[in-house]
Structure 1
Amino acid sequence: MDSAALDILRTTFGHPGFRGEQARIIDCVTRGGDALVLMPTGGGKSLCYQLPALLRQGCGIVVSPLIALMQDQVDALRQLGVRAAFLNSTLDAATAREVEDALLDGQLDLLYVAPERLLTPRCMALLDRAKIALFAIDEAHCVSQWGHDFRREYRELTVLHERWPQVPRIALTATADAPTRAEIAERLALEDAQQFVSSFDRPNIRYRVVLKDGSGQRGLLELIASHPDDSGIVYAFSRKRVESIAVQLAQAGIKALPYHAGMSADVRAANQRRFLQEDGVVMVATIAFGMGIDKPDVRFVAHVDLPKSIEGYYQETGRAGRDGEPAEAWLSYGLGDVVNLRQLIALSDAGDERKQLELRKLDALLGFCESTQCRRQALLGWFGESHPGACGNCDNCLNPPERWDATQAARKALSCVYRSGQRFGAGHVIDILRGVESEKVQRFGHDQLSTWAIGADMDVKQWSSVFRQLVALGMLEADSERHNALRLTGAATPVLKGERTLWMRMDPPRASRSRARGRAAAPVSALSSEAGLRFAALREWRAEMAREQDVPAYVIFHDATLRTLADMAPSGLHELAAVPGIGSSKLERYGDAVLQLLQQAHTDVV
């Protein structure tokens, strides 16, 4: 690795050394090579193009689909003394011209551009006149029509190679299985690029999956209570759910804000700004609160409804713990989620091939939820990465679930679905099995069926678990055109014929589930009482600086940097410069203020 790269890493970015594949990637691109980079969220992808842009002649052009994130990225770079700007639809004509002039005058190190803007004749002509160091294509999975964030404009980015063949390109993503990776390389003409695939493992994240308890709010409240004063994200399926949950959390005294596409742009932007600038805000959102989140100190991500795919789940949970400190990914789901998502897929305008792919991805996520194996092992396996299991940081490893021989119960359930005509939902079929003389049972004469009351020895919760897992195993499916009536699939035949033994996950009793919920992720690095007071003072000072400059708090300093400052309590600029995250620009800008604050905090304690 060139010593110039290490020097910039330390003096500009304030990092003592490279992580993982960063050094090799940076060396490849700096020398003029193309690269396709797969690296988990929080793994340091941005540095892989930012640093080569500073080492090469010209300006690095970063193609990003995230207009909302560009401002924060540019703010963060400017704090480091890097000459950065963006071009997107939020700029007025005069400001856009100033950015264009700065590019042509060689006054920019990095320029962020939305793909729609990049592909305009005006922007292409501008780049023809500029000295370009490299092209970085961020969120490269957007090129895949089978991906979860497909952007049509990304398909046209081959023009970068065709028009400027001498300029190196680096495509980066945090979420791509092997087929998507191959598609990225093909669609962006990067077949000959060097590929760098880092581990998808996020060992600092604790994964937990729980069953819905009615509305699911109690479990969510317990989760948030285990993260006092922490920032978090709660993902919900619909706008209505987002609004409802945000209100309930606010009524419980939690600083919660809603975010969804149905809100006005101004309110959405204001809520996102508060989330980024303040500590302890919980954002309740649909997936419209998407990729444009660069906040490093999100301590938990909760899904109160089932996501659509493992890729979406991985990307959304990946917004937790980007700073490497302990964080938690919590998912609550039930049979209703499965039925709703299958219905949405069936009723969509997508072609049959697309629908089948989405169903397979949903089935894979269901398998992950119902699995008794290590969550990390199951999750990484989807991305083609092996893991030995026993990670010690997921619910299945910490509290191994019990299994039971559910073969006879499954045969009863499947037989009852068949004998009642495959026309009814799980609730009615369970009434038949348990011998409940409901009005509906009487009306259809189902108390005369041979399966009437053959499952009276099990309660509603046990039968609900059986039906949920039969759907997850693909032996039953919900017919969206017949009010989600359950019907058998070919996979049910071996069980009905007695040719297959079926073991199922045993749902824990409610009291046990409550205790499990109370076990939060390992605490963020503990501080002494004196260091804790210094940390609180530093956060308050950081919040004031963020408000004055109208930037996210983490742009000033990450929590990890503040924690190190509070723990070390440096007394001079030389000691301060040794703290990770403090480069020369931040040392000059904030050094004296930080030292004065630490000295005052020490005086207050004494």
Structure 2
Amino acid sequence: MEIKKSLFDNLQNFFGFDNFKGEQEAIITNILAGNDTFVIMPTGGGKSMCYQLPALMTEGTAIVISPLIALMKNQVDQLRAFCNSDSVAHFLNSSLTKSETARVKEDVLAGKTKLLYVAPESLTKQDNIDFLRLNKLSFVAVDEAHCISEWGHDFRPEYRKIRQVISNLGENIPIIALTATATPKVQHDIQKNLQMNNATVYKSSFNRANLYYEVRAKRNVLKEIIKFIKQNAGKSGIVYCLSRKKVEEVAEALNLNGIKALPYHAGLDAKVRAETQDKFLMEEVEVIVATIAFGMGIDKPDVRYVIHHDVPKSMEGYYQETGRAGRDGGEGVCVSFYSEKDVDKLQKFMKDKPVSEREIGTQILKEVIDYAESSVCRRKQILHYFGEDYDASSCNSMCDNCASQRQFFDGEAQLHRALSLIKQLGEKFDDHHVVSVLMGQDGPQVHHYDHHSLSVFGSGKEDGENLWKSLLRQALLDNFLSKDIDQYGLLRLTDKGHDFLENPYSIRFVLNKPIEAADDDDTEEGPKQGSGALDTQLLQMLKDLRKKIAKQKNVPPFVVFQDPSLEEMCTHYPVSTDELKQISGVGAGKASKFGAPFIELIKKYVEDNDIDRPVDMVIKSAANKSALKVYIIQNIDRHLDLEDIAASKGLNYEEILREVESIVNSGTKLNLNYYIDEVIDEDKQDEVYDYFRSAEVDSIDDALVDLGVNDYTREEIQLMRIKFMSELGN
């Protein structure tokens, strides 16, 4: 009773809380008793309190091993604020100067420091080991303990050395291992490696009831993301991408479309990263676009959505990243975009890795693919991955699968056939092999084992591959089968599976709805010709307006706006100058010269017809394209030959003409007379110029036919068309 009172008194004194969360009290009591303790608790469950409070209550210094410098600093700052003392907590890592390191060691030796955070790389240095041996250590806490296991999503070889170092620090030092994501396999690896098989294990449920999970086919992904964010304006969110390049591109696109966003990845300066974190915490920016490095140690409770632009590398990573949404128990929407192209990229990354690492990576990625392609409750799949059984009826439509209409089938006969085959094969093959046999697919492995001669070979062809994949996935989720991940994902029958073979019964399964073929094309160079979304009524009205304005200005209609630009207006309905500038082939010059009547017409048309406009606009060219255009404009102003400008940028003549034409068509005036006078006779120039003045279309092919193929080259016509458009249209 006295210990319990002391616990609550200290909880109130140090942290200002009246009650513990979940199993915190039992965990802390176990640590205070000097026992090895293993804590598996989801993100936001209060893991850090489990070692911080006992460290403050125990004689000596607790060592906290953490791989994340940002997390260390964050927690040290919080502890100093709670305890009103700068000496109570320190971190020891490569970011400290010599004088700062000396100050830390001085405080620890003086007994002032209750928690010392150490990076695993720093812990293994001999001078640090010698120093720590001089102190009384209360216990060692190993945070992010999944880093020990090759099956964990963030394996770090230096974590393998922790047990040896702890043994060198002294005898009988209690160990506390903590992780937010650990499959049964990873849990076993952690306990085995840290030699804590007798540890008391505390495992909280991995269910985050407030999170909504959704997987979407990856088509026009940037537009989808922009639309989602604008529909959730004023809320904080994170967008995860696999590469630094993609992070920069997405962040730029969001800002172009009026969304305050910043990029975050390991390639940025540490000061910039720290400032970015602070701006996100202080809500100076709405969205962080990041690689998986972001979010660890960032305690922002009100992140309202997490978007995966690319397929996550593992279910652990996916769980941890989505877990950064709704940590306050409020709304948390998790949207992942999935395409087979992403999977192919990840598989290519693994090709150069050692065989064992490649096999592990393939197994881990396969779980992600199964999750994305399955129509079963997302929550049930996530929790099963972490060794937790879950009744899908409790999901309450908090995932896209449970919220949608699904197709079920009675699978008694098929399940019996699949389990019988797995048993017949000696439980020595994975799901891919089992499906191949049932479908009658005589591949190299099936042939090698002579399985094409089995009576069951091809017996499931009529049911279709999708049904068998759906069935085996759910047989795993419902514990008829287990997967031996140590042995390449071989399928084994459980007791429940054996019982079903003896006494089959009626059972229903969900049929997977395959994700439609997705296009990973983020940018659109122009409107899709003949798109079904094209508003033909508006297009005719815009063409009539163009004709009227062309007549007033005494120019051909194509000088005002070209057809592709008008078609794009009929898809996106721009109702302001800024929006019109986003239409390909318009630009600032043309928008200001010709745009006003077009905007008025579109605005009235949208109001009269009650049209629900897309909230996002076409994403304009990336920074590198903009830089090329600026370079070309500057060098034309300096009267450099086009061939020289092209050569300096590795372009050929055809490509430089195309770039120059694009600049002019977007409304920028270019004076190319200095160059045209050098390469085309004056008489020829006049003839082509007069031709385009009276032409109804700006086709080069038509011009060549009318003017004479033998008299002009295609490039000469194109150059004169550029001059004509620049002088009359801009």
State TM-score, norm by structure 1: 0.66
Q: Percent identity?
A: 42
Q: What's 1:394 paired with?
A: 398
**Equivalent runs, 1:83-482 vs 2, <5 Å:** 83-158=88-163, 159-214=165-220, 216-278=221-283, 280-289=285-294, 291-345=296-350, 347-351=351-355, 353-390=356-393, 391-396=395-400, 399-403=403-407
Q: Which AA in structure 2 matches 1:306?
A: V
Q: Which secondary structure does the structure 1 equivalent of 2:83 belong to? A: coil
The alignment yields a C-alpha RMSD, in angstroms, of: 2.9
Instruction: Please give the alpha-carbon distance, in whole angstroms, between the structure 2 residues aligned to 1:290 and 1:509.
Output: 31
Instruction: Say if 2:44 and 2:327, in contact at 8 Å, map to a contact too.
Output: yes
Instruction: Please give the alpha-carbon distance, in whole angstroms, between the structure 1 residues aligned to 2:202 and 2:460.
Output: 48
**Larger RCO (alpha carbons 8 Å, 6+ apart):** 1
Alpha-carbon distance, 1:306 to partner: 0.4
Instruction: Please give the alpha-carbon distance, in whole angstroms, between the structure 2 residues aligned to 1:378 and 1:488.
Output: 31
Q: Which AA in structure 2 matches 1:228?
A: A
2:513 is aligned, of 499, 502, 505, to 505
Instruction: Please give the alpha-carbon distance, in whole angstroms, between the structure 2 residues aligned to 1:29 and 1:117.
Output: 25
Instruction: Say if 1:59 and 1:110, in contact at 8 Å, map to a contact too.
Output: yes
**Equivalent runs, 1:476-495 vs 2, <5 Å:** 494=458
Alpha-carbon distance, 1:100 to partner: 0.9
Instruction: Please give the alpha-carbon distance, in whole angstroms, between the structure 1 residues aligned to 2:22 and 2:204.
Output: 7
Q: Which secondary structure does the structure 2 equivalent of 1:336 belong to? A: helix
Q: Which secondary structure does the structure 2 equivalent of 1:314 belong to? A: helix
Q: Which secondary structure does the structure 1 equivalent of 2:326 belong to? A: coil
Alpha-carbon distance, 1:230 to partner: 2.4
* 1:549-606 deviation digits (Å, cap 9, x = unpaired): xxxxxxxxxxxxxxxxxxxxxxxxxxxxxxxxxxxxxxxxxxxxxxxxxxxxxxxxxx
Instruction: Say if 2:241 and 2:290, in contact at 8 Å, map to a contact too.
Output: yes
Task: Choose 161-170 or 298-307, whichever is displaced more.
Answer: 161-170
Q: Which has the larger radius of gyration?
A: 2
Q: Which AA in structure 2 matches 1:402?
A: R
* 1:488-518 deviation digits (Å, cap 9, x = unpaired): 98699748843657344166999xxxxxxxx
State TM-score, norm by structure 2: 0.56
Instruction: Say if 1:475 and 1:488, in contact at 8 Å, map to a contact too.
Output: no
Q: Which AA in structure 2 matches 1:505?
A: K
Instruction: Say if 2:217 and 2:517, in contact at 8 Å, map to a contact too.
Output: no
Instruction: Please give the alpha-carbon distance, in whole angstroms, between the structure 2 residues aligned to 1:40 and 1:279.
Output: 28
Structure 1 residues without counterparts, runs of 5 or longer? 406-469, 477-486, 511-606
Instruction: Please give the alpha-carbon distance, in whole angstroms, between the structure 2 residues aligned to 1:248 and 1:506.
Output: 30
Instruction: Please give the alpha-carbon distance, in whole angstroms, between the structure 2 residues aligned to 1:25 and 1:59.
Output: 19
Q: Which secondary structure does the structure 2 equivalent of 1:498 belong to? A: helix
Alpha-carbon distance, 1:349 to partner: 1.8
Q: Which secondary structure does the structure 1 equivalent of 2:462 belong to? A: coil
Aligned CA distance change for structure 1 residues 59 and 289 (closer, same or farther; 3 Å): same
Q: Which secondary structure does the structure 2 equivalent of 1:208 belong to? A: strand
Instruction: Please give the alpha-carbon distance, in whole angstroms, between the structure 1 residues aligned to 2:459 and 2:303.
Output: 45
Alpha-carbon distance, 1:396 to partner: 3.2
Q: What's 1:31 paired with?
A: 33
Aligned CA distance change for structure 1 residues 128 and 286 (closer, same or farther; 3 Å): same
Alpha-carbon distance, 1:286 to partner: 1.5
* 1:110-136 deviation digits (Å, cap 9, x = unpaired): 111111112212211221122222211
Determine if the alignment matches structure 1 residue 72 to structure 2 residue 74: yes
Instruction: Say if 2:10 and 2:53, in contact at 8 Å, map to a contact too.
Output: yes
Instruction: Please give the alpha-carbon distance, in whole angstroms, between the structure 2 residues aligned to 1:229 and 1:87.
Output: 38
Alpha-carbon distance, 1:236 to partner: 0.9
Alpha-carbon distance, 1:185 to partner: 0.5
Instruction: Say if 2:210 and 2:330, in contact at 8 Å, map to a contact too.
Output: yes
Q: Which AA in structure 2 matches 1:183?
A: D
Alpha-carbon distance, 1:222 to partner: 3.0
Q: Which AA in structure 2 matches 1:9?
A: L
Aligned CA distance change for structure 1 residues 373 and 336 (closer, same or farther; 3 Å): same
